[in-house]
Amino acid sequence: MEIAVNILLTIATAATPLLIAAMGELVVERSGVLNLGVEGMMIMGAVGGFGAGYLTGSPWIGLLVAVAMGAVFSLLFAFMTLTLATNQVATGLSLTLLGLGLSGMMGTSFVGQPGERLPNLDIPGLTSIPVVGKLFFGQDPVFYISIALTIAVAWFLFRTRTGLTLRSIGDSHTSAHALGIPVLRYRYLAVVFGGACAGLAGGQLSLVYTPQWVENMSAGRGWIALALVVFASWRPWRVLGGAYIFGAVWIGQLHAQAFGIPVPSQLLSSLPYLATVVVLVLISRNKRLTMMNTPASLGQPFVPDR
Amino acid sequence: MRIELVKRPQRSVLFSALSPFIAFVLTIVAGAILFALLGVNPLTAFGIYFIEPVSQVWQLHELAIKAAPLILIAVGLSVCYRANIWNIGAEGQFILGGIVGSIVPVMFPTLEGPLVLPLMLLLGMVGGAAYAAIPAFLKTRFNTNEILTSLMLVYVAQLFLDWLVRGPWRDPQGHGFPQTVQFNASAILPELFPSSGRANWGFVFALVAAVLVWILMNRVLKGFEVRVLGSSPRAGRFAGFSLGRMVFFAFMLSGALAGLAGISEVSGAINQLQPVISPGYGFTAIIVAFLGRLNPLGIVAAGLVLALTYLGGEAVQSALGISDKVARVFQGMLLFFVLGCDTLIHYRIRLVGFGASRIEEAR
């Protein structure tokens, strides 16, 4: 039982960054913008979060800086694709490339330094309850943020008027514009929200998951988050499910490596990436269903005619 | 103040030509700010970054060595991007090209003769093309997003190479280092002018590929097909062009060129397989492709510029102690600025003050 709980806890820690980053990207894509820069914003959040935590000694400040870092970095993307109407695929890619370079440069002096870890929740009386106590009342703060985020995004998108407006922009920006909705303003906010989420996910990596700075420590998680959004057919609760499946794959291969299963460790390490491909194949097979779920103006630049 | 875009009646020829240069100037300005923030005199830094690495003949050879894979890969990618097909896994195709091409010198290290090298190059292209065919197949057969699948396969390729050189292909006499045997002389791509520097035939391959792809895109029906399907898939369908076949064509062409770049790098510059054979050429080549305006001849120039950023990064690291990641920052900024400047080709930019917009609202 103890082992099962511990495995569940590690899965949650591995799933949380995927969940948060994918949830942010989900909102961005629902507004009709495809931001391929998740990996770059995430790694910027990771380096900013670690750096601020390391320099101030407070992992909480680190977490805030991580969020701010992702949000500010995403503004660059927003300005390019929304104000200047550049190609979203290419701009997103360049955001990732720039983020990987910039974070590497900023993090040079952090390599090998011991980091600050966000403390786990500890509620007297509740956390010590066997089994459920640790699962529900003893995890790191970012875990609870990720769950709250999922609920909030699901509620916002499908239960509020603003959420409905956001989705309508994603489905047809021209119609939304004709109705007098400020398309670009909504999209700016969505992109920055996505950036803040990616930054938070990065902060989780360098402040909770492995409290240290390693170059390229996001290791493709930003890309997996992008795949998760497709996998979840742009629905928040399915993102949650998908993130935990991928968290399980990630942890499963680590455990398998630790147990010394007679399979090359590199093969096990490549499982999350192979799983992403397989999942994408399974989910995209039905062309009509995919088309129905995809926000119709996803990736299309929009220049309002005035 | 607000920025508004006003559509031009037709694309601006002037900005189409100027935009890479404007982007380059903006990158220099941003770079100067960056160096100043790092506490280095920008002029000194630029001297070390952009001038010193190309001030001697042997250094020009190094530039050619770095530029060759970038140009080869980017030329292939330009065909993909023109067709609106997003292969971003060239890094993986590069690695697979290096691996498959190395089958001959690693598994038959005693094989010699004039046929070894052509066979390696051919296998490298086959390896790259085959690896690129996977996302193409998944896209055409299962409608899978090629951006994500081609990227995921990069990680798989890196891990596969890592396994090979630490496992079955490790040189038993290599003192435990994760590397294969050194290739014998007939498996090494010859140097162009051995008396003055190390540049090898890979650079010639790059130039030839650029010319051939330029002819393909501008003088051959297939190139027309690429452009039509890229700008309007619907019109392409009416013309009887098959999008599915185009996906395979573009992916396998770019995969083959990336594979050729991979085996040329392994055979010409490294002479053996190691756990890491590319400093991110496959990703930097994306920048090269855009900076070169998706035009093969522009790509040659852009490849040389980006190669210089690599050399400059190494130079400032050794001279000023700045991380060589500065090269990646320069590359990323360059792509950003080039994409931003490209807006000027199709739009005029109008700055609207708050006052003006209020007047408009009042009307």
pLDDT digits (tens, 9 = 90+) for A105-137: 888 888 888 888 888 888 887 777 877 777 887
pLDDT higher at A205 or B14: A205
State residue B355's pLDDT score.
Answer: 54
The residue whose two tokens read 């190094």 is: B62
| C-alpha to C-alpha distance for A25 and A29, rounded to whole angstroms | 6
Q: How many CB pairs under 8 A join A and B?
A: 138
Mean of per-residue pLDDT scores for chain B: 89
Q: What percent of chain B has pLDDT over 70?
A: 97
SS3 state at B350? strand
**Confidence check: pLDDT of B137 > 50:** yes
For residue B352, is it within any domain? no
The domain limits of chain A are 2-293
In contact, A86 and B340? CB cutoff 8 Å: yes
Residue A98: which of B323, B333, B342 has the nearest Cβ?
B333
pLDDT at position B354: 58
Average pLDDT of span B153-163: 95
Q: Is it the case that residue B112 has pLDDT exceeding 60?
A: yes
Mean pLDDT within A141-150: 95
Residue B319 lies in a domain: no
Q: Which among B148, B335, B342 is the nearest to A97, CB-wise?
A: B335
Residue of B nearest to A279 (CA): B144
Q: What is the pLDDT of residue B37?
A: 87
Q: Provide the number of structural domains found in chain B.
A: 1
Looking at per-residue pLDDT, the higher value among B358 and B44 belongs to B44
Beta carbons of A97 and B287 less than 8 Å apart: yes
| Residue for token pair 């890479």 | B20
Query: How far is residue A254 from each of residues A38, A281, B152, B173, B214, measured CA to CA in Å?
Result: 24, 24, 19, 31, 47
Is B5 contained in some domain?
no
Asked whether residue B206 is domain-assigned, the answer is yes
**For B257-266, what is the mean pLDDT?**
96
Residue B361 pLDDT:
45
Give the ipTM of the model, two decimals please: 0.89
Percentage of residues of chain A with pLDDT beyond 90: 61
The residue segments making up the domain with residue B108 are: 69-294
Q: Pull the structure tokens for residue A55.
A: 């320099």
Nearest Cα residue to B126 out of B267, B256, B245: B256
Topology at the third CATH level for domain A2-293:
ABC transporter involved in vitamin B12 uptake, BtuC (1.10.3470)
B357 Cβ under 8 Å from any chain A Cβ = no
Q: Is residue B273 very low, low, confident or very high in pLDDT (cuts 50, 70, 90)?
A: very high
pLDDT of residue A304: 83
Q: What integer pLDDT is reported at residue B155 of this predicted model?
A: 93
At B359, is the pLDDT very low, low, confident or very high (cuts 50, 70, 90)?
very low
Task: Out of A287-301, B106-120, B136-150, B241-255, pick the least confident.
Answer: A287-301
CA distance A270 to chain B (A): 5
Tell whether B216 is covered by a domain.
yes
Task: Give the C-alpha separation, B112 to A186, whole Å.
Answer: 65
Query: Encoding tokens for residue B292?
Result: 């070169």
The verdict on residue B23 lying in a domain is no
Q: Answer whether A101 sits within 8 Å of B342, measured CB to CB.
A: no
* B299 within some domain: no
pLDDT digits over A160-213, tens only?
999 999 999 999 999 999 999 999 999 999 999 999 999 999 999 999 998 899
- Report if residue B64 sits inside a domain: no
